[in-house]
């Protein structure tokens, strides 16, 4: 009897258009496993995946009907059928998944800690997204923190390497780091790391409605609303880390600091409908941050196990601080997935919420 997957798909040209489709799963080929997707996190980071789906090839990970895409998410699943000698039915895995009920992965380089999906359609994509953890061999796994791991660990990995990039370049000569969309989970991770380990001022930009929440996390030295950017001294040398992708905010920051801005880094697109930046901005040209580039550099610099050791220590410390500001909200089925998806597109999800979903 054939297996059927329920796939939540969205239009590549109109992100508010979605449909749930049923797909007949193929007979497993050599090395393949069938994974039942148990639960996945959905955050503003996934809106970035959709907004930059074409440019950054996020649509390529999981095939979908013409004109539609499956937004990648981070979550847990269980192997329910296996044609791979190294992976057994019943194993639980963590990694990059589609917003679906099932997914077929072609596993290779199988080790106790994990494996790599070597499906042909993913061969050109960054290795970091094709790696899967086997939870039985994951030293950083704790069952009671599964939700927190799915919601925060991949984002904190991005935050870890943003912080590392800035420090690795002597803060680009700046005395402060300005983070837009300061309530986003990636920004909170960067702010936490900077506040713990770096001798720079950490400034968060956010909306008036989120200002109290951002201040309460304790990660920022100063929290400023978008309409009050002028309150920051314009001669303060700053690095700008942009999580919002809002053209007006980017333009306002560049015009305010001009040459006092020493580096401008675009990470996300939480304000996805306000994208588009002038080519003639004063100060440094905004560059897109791509975590795999810094990961490759540090893999060479730190040697085998170097990244894992450093990241694990930072992650466990950050995890201990999260209980003070995040609570997990669960949902199941098309209606819940669509509701959270659309609310996240519209920026209407409280920053204190962490949404765990299943199709």
DSSP string, 80-91: EEE--TT--TT-
153-292 adopts what CATH topology? Rossmann fold (3.40.50)
Q: 58-113 pLDDT, tens per residue? A: 999 999 999 999 999 999 999 999 999 999 999 999 999 999 999 999 999 999 99
Please state which CATH class domain 4-138+326-358 belongs to. alpha beta
pLDDT of residue 194: 96
DSSP string, 285-339: PPEE--HHHHHHHHHHHH-TTHHHHHHHHHHHHHHHHHTTT-EEEEEESHHHHHH
Report the mean per-residue pLDDT for the chain.
Answer: 92
Q: 262-308 pLDDT, tens per residue? A: 999 988 654 444 445 556 789 999 888 888 889 889 999 999 889 98
**What does the pLDDT average to over 142-155?**
91
pLDDT of residue 276: 52
pLDDT of residue 30: 96
% residues pLDDT > 70 (the chain): 96
**Distance (Å, whole) CA 180 – CA 177:** 10
* Alpha carbon 289 to chain centroid, angstroms: 12
**Distance (Å, whole) CA 188 – CA 312:** 17
CB 62 within 8 A of CB 85: no
Enumerate the domain spans of the chain: 4-138+326-358, 153-292
pTM of the entire predicted model: 0.81
Q: What are phi and psi of 288, to 5 degrees?
A: -85, 125
């Amino acid at each position: 009897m054939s297996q059927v997957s329920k796939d939540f798909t969205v239009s590549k040209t109109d992100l508010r258009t979605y449909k749930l489709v049923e797909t007949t799963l193929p007979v497993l080929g050599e090395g393949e496993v069938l994974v039942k997707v148990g639960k996945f996190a959905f955050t503003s980071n996934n809106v970035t995946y959709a907004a930059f789906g074409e440019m950054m090839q996020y649509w390529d990970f999981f095939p979908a009907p013409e004109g539609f895409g499956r937004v990648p998410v981070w979550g847990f699943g269980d192997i329910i059928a296996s044609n791979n000698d190294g992976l057994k039915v019943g194993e639980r895995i963590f990694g990059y998944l589609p917003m679906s009920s099932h997914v077929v992965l072609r596993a290779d380089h199988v080790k106790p800690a994990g494996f790599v999906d070597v499906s042909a359609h993913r061969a050109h994509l960054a290795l970091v997204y094709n790696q899967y953890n086997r939870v039985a061999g994951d030293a950083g796994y704790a069952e009671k923190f599964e939700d927190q791991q799915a919601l925060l660990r991949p984002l904190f990995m991005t935050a870890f390497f943003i912080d590392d990039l800035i420090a690795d370049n002597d803060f680009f000569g700046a005395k402060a780091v300005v983070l837009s969309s300061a309530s986003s989970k990636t920004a909170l991770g960067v702010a936490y790391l900077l506040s713990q380990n770096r001798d720079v001022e950490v400034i968060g930009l956010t909306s008036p409605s989120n200002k109290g929440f951002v201040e309460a996390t304790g990660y920022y030295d100063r929290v400023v609303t978008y309409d009050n950017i002028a309150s920051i001294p314009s001669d303060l040398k700053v690095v700008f880390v942009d999580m919002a992708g809002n053209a007006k905010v980017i333009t306002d920051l560049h015009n305010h600091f001009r040459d006092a801005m020493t580096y401008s880094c675009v990470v996300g697109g939480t304000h996805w409908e306000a994208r588009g930046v002038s080519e003639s901005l004063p100060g440094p040209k905004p560059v897109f941050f791509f975590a795999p580039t810094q990961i490759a550099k540090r893999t060479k610099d730190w040697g085998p196990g170097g990244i894992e050791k450093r990241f694990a220590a930072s992650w466990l410390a950050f995890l201990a601080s999260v209980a003070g500001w995040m609570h997990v909200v669960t949902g199941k089925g098309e209606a819940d997935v669509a509701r959270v998806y659309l609310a996240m597109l519209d920026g209407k999800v409280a920053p204190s919420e962490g949404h765990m979903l299943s199709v």
